[in-house]
Amino acid sequence: MSNQNYIRKILLLSANPRGSSPLRLGEEMREIKEGLKRSKNREQYSIDTVETVRYRDIHRAILEYEPQIIHFSGHGVGEEGLVFEDESGQIKLVDAEALAGLFQLFANQVECVILNACYSKYQAQEIAKHINYVVGMSQAIGDRAAIEFAVGFYDALGADKDYEFAYKLGCSSMLVAGIAENLTPKLIMKSDILLSNSSAEATTIYVERPPIEAKCYAAILQAGALIRIRSPQRMGKTLLLEKVLNSAREQGYQTAKLDLKLADSDILADTKTFLQWLCVNVSDSLDIEPQLDKYWQDVFGVNKNCTRYFQKYLLGVNDSPLVLAIDNFERLFPYPEIFPQFCLLLRGWYEAAKQGDKIGNLWKKLRLVVVHSTESYPTLDTNHSPFNVGIAIELPEFNLQQVESLTQQYELADKLGQQDLSKLMELIGGHPDLIQQAVSYLKNPQASMEELLQLAPTEQGIFSDHLRQQLWHLQHNSQLELGYKKVVMANAPVRLDTEVAFKLHSLGLVKLSGNDCVPSCELYRQYFSVRLG
């Protein structure tokens, strides 16, 4: 695999913060080092280690050691992210999008990334958009299995084998050791990701949920409009946002979209930095040069400066209205120095548009669309609404007619009759993402509805990743876990504490029946009655 004169650098990262279950990370690192020391090509490798990794240490270690192979050992919690430490040694989750953005910067240097952590395939899939070879775990993996995989993988590299062979030997080593977890590691290659992405983009499917779309299209035409789109994750918020922006562009409006997931933590640590980042990004979206030096005067304070920048520059460069869309607004919730001030700022702009003077006419040109997930509500004070002005858009589940429309677009109408669709919706309701997963799965000629329904509430089922993510939310809030156990164990609606009911509803786990709670779908009842019972 390697040139004899080329030294391939391996960087071993590990994290096991306080509050997370202990792992045998030291043993894994020792075994990797010992295996490479004994290999015939040991002179072609160097190993550096960084333990108890904080999230800020990742890029620092890559800059310092310049590795071609990065191996992370620790915890993962599915879509929520990989578990690192913060400055106090507590848990800090870093999600797939953030990790992918980081590795994109080092794509010309890093060849392979190993995420030896439970449920890390989400991060692996995102990182593989930029790195040629990435290994992630599709489910939980035991300490022994993780160590055996690492030993086999690096033994193969030490024998001058390529990454694909090393991955296969790692999986085989687990079986030889008598550990039946050989299907857990998944090798994801950049070439495969690019191919699947191009295919997915060609078949993007959007199912309308009237009258929501028409309501949004009409609202965006109103002077000084503010639209708030909210729901649990994976309900279609971002797709709806794109439809609204396209409608605005058809009207000749300017549009600027900000995704707060792309804002580095350093940006969100300071209000001035964040608001300047906002101004520069909107300027960039409008394809005009930022003019902070001209319009930002520290004597005015940060909110006033941001307002002046919009008022004197961004809203004045064009006579047409400007639609400013802010996606993943929930990213601000954990930042008490920024979140309340920014909400007040947006509210101030919204109120300014109601004035009848010259300034009011200027702010009438601004249309705001704020999009956020409600999963973060359990960490918020329910007495402090994240935002309560403008028009609120709650995304509902699909109804039967909309699910039928989806199956027709997937060309599955002949395979799935009304009886099959009724059984599917009895199990998962009309949750858009779960419906999409089911329909995508059933596109496979060998897939059957009977097998899907039978395995659905198990770790073998196609919804297991989603279910584990919801379980993670419950396990990190004892009040919610206890309350939800009552709900799934009961045969009738259950009255819960108002705050607990609100937070379970925000997670999408319950539906409200008056003041009482029932599981959102039969899938949740079956899965969580076992996991919490």
Tell me if 389 sits within 8 A of 399, measured CB to CB. Answer: no
Tell me if 363 sits within 8 A of 222, measured CB to CB. Answer: no
Of 94, 196, 179, 97, the closest CA to residue 145 belongs to 179
DSSP for 247-270 reads HHHHTT-EEEEEEGGGS-TTGGG-
The backbone region for 256, taken as left when phi is positive above 0, alpha when psi lies in -120 to 50, beta otherwise, is beta
- Residues 6 or more apart whose Cβ sits within 8 Å of residue 445: none
Give the global pTM.
0.65
pLDDT of residue 182: 87
Q: What 3-state class would DSSP assign to 457? A: coil
| Buried b / exposed e along 511-531 (16+ C-beta atoms within 10 A) | beeeebbbbbbebbbbbbbeb
What radius of gyration do the chain's Cα atoms show?
A: 25
Tell me if 185 sits within 8 A of 139, measured CB to CB. Answer: no
pLDDT of residue 201: 40
Cα 337 to its chain centre, rounded Å, is: 23
Per-residue pLDDT reduced to its tens digit, 148-188? 998 899 998 888 888 999 999 999 999 999 998 888 899 99
DSSP for 339-394 reads HHHHHHHHHHHHHHTT--SHHHHHHTTEEEEEEEESTTGGGS-TTS-S--SSEEEE
pLDDT of residue 200: 45
Please tell me the chain's helix, strand, coil percentages from 3-state DSSP, rounded to the nearest 5.
Answer: 50, 15, 35
pLDDT of residue 199: 42
Integer angstrom CA distances of residue 331 from 283, 334, 462, 533: 21, 7, 28, 33
pLDDT of residue 25: 67
Per-residue pLDDT reduced to its tens digit, 487-520? 999 999 999 999 999 999 999 999 999 999 999 9
Q: How many residues does the chain have?
A: 533
The residue assigned the tokens 């005015």 is 300
Tell me if 399 sits within 8 A of 430, measured CB to CB. Answer: yes
Provide the sign of the torsion angle of the four alpha carbons 445, 437, 120, 105, taken in this order: positive
- Residues 6 or more apart whose Cβ sits within 8 Å of residue 162: 1
pLDDT of residue 172: 93
Query: Cα–Cα distance between 357 and 311 in angstroms, integer?
Result: 13
Beta bridge partners of 106: none
Query: Cα–Cα distance between 271 and 336 in angstroms, integer?
Result: 10
> Residue 78's CB: how many other CB atoms inside 10 A?
22
Which of the 8 DSSP states describes residue 310?
I
> Residue 63's CB: how many other CB atoms inside 10 A?
10
Q: What is the pLDDT along the chain (533 residues), one digit of tens a residue?
A: 544 556 889 998 888 776 666 667 678 888 888 878 887 787 888 889 888 788 788 899 999 999 999 999 888 888 878 888 777 777 888 888 889 889 999 988 999 999 988 889 989 999 998 999 999 998 888 888 888 998 899 998 888 888 999 999 999 999 999 998 888 899 998 876 655 554 444 346 789 999 999 999 999 999 999 999 999 988 999 999 999 999 999 999 999 999 998 888 889 989 999 999 999 999 999 999 999 999 999 999 999 999 999 999 999 888 999 999 999 999 998 898 899 999 999 999 999 999 999 999 999 999 999 999 988 765 655 444 446 789 999 999 999 999 999 998 888 888 898 899 999 999 999 999 999 989 988 988 888 999 999 999 998 899 988 998 899 899 989 999 999 999 999 999 999 999 999 999 999 999 999 999 999 999 999 999 999 98
Residue 445 carries which side chain, given as an amino acid letter? P
Tell me if 219 sits within 8 A of 382, measured CB to CB. Answer: no
Burial of residue 119 (number of CB atoms within 10 Å: 0-12, 13-18, 19+): buried
Q: Say if residue 378 is preceded by a cis peptide, omega within 30 of 0.
A: no
Query: Cα–Cα distance between 272 and 517 in angstroms, integer?
Result: 43
Contacts by 459-462 with C-beta closer than 8 Å and gap 24+?
459/139, 462/437, 462/438
Beta bridge partners of 255: 323
pLDDT of residue 387: 63
Of 16, 75, 22, the closest CA to residue 51 belongs to 16
> Residue 485's CB: how many other CB atoms inside 10 A?
17
pLDDT of residue 2: 47
Which helix (H) or strand (E) segment is 93 a member of?
strand 91-94
Residue 161 carries which side chain, given as an amino acid letter? K
pLDDT of residue 196: 52
Provide the sign of the torsion angle of the four alpha carbons 384, 387, 390, 391, taken in this order: negative
Query: Cα–Cα distance between 243 and 250 in angstroms, integer?
Result: 11
pLDDT of residue 526: 97
